[in-house]
Amino acid sequence: MPFTPIHMGPGIFIKALMGGSFSLMVFGWAQIVMDIQPLFVLITGEGHLHGFSHTYIGATLIAIFSAVTGRYLSQLGLWMLHITPSVRVSIAWWVVFLSAFIGSFSHVLLDSIMHSDVRPFYPATEANMFLGVISVGLLHKLCLYSGLSGAAIYYYLQWRSKNS
């Protein structure tokens, strides 16, 4: 995937369907944390581009870190954006963990489809059975269209709730 933003399309769609049972901010934070290791490799030229962070074991550790830190960052962000009146707003832990796990696991899956160096099930196997399941162009379109349709659904539901 081109860095993190394209991964947000499916997250926007999931947010539209799940509403308050999903945190788009935590999902997005997990996307950013997932790509820190590849960013480091791109900057330094050292290491494996899609290494341990792009395995399901690495994604599990990243999801836990993203959930714990993302809950507090999201609460702060919601308060700073004046979406909530207090920084003490509480996002349920189950929502935070669900969002972080969906974020990190979907990241591995999407990158597995297009990057030949991703080993999603390492160390059990070096194989990547997802590589090339669909074309890169179609993958990008699916991510883009899921984001656009998710945004349309989300704003329609917001409009409908205000006008009913």
Q: Where are the domains of the chain?
A: 7-162
CA distance 109 to 132: 12
Cα distance from N-terminal residue to C-terminal residue, the chain: 40
Q: What is the pTM of this model?
A: 0.92
Mean pLDDT of 44-51: 92
Q: pLDDT tier at 6 (50, 70, 90 boundaries)?
A: confident
pLDDT given for residue 2 in this prediction: 45
86: helix, coil or strand?
Answer: coil
CA distance 30 to 25: 9
Q: Quick one: DSSP state of residue 46?
A: -
Residue type, 160: R
pLDDT tens digits, 84-95: 776 676 889 999
Mean pLDDT of 136-143: 95
Mean pLDDT of 49-78: 94
CA distance 122 to 10: 25
Q: pLDDT tier at 75 (50, 70, 90 boundaries)?
A: confident
Mean pLDDT of 53-73: 96
Q: pLDDT tier at 3 (50, 70, 90 boundaries)?
A: low
If you count DSSP H runs as helices and E runs as strands, how many of each does the chain have, helices first? 6, 0
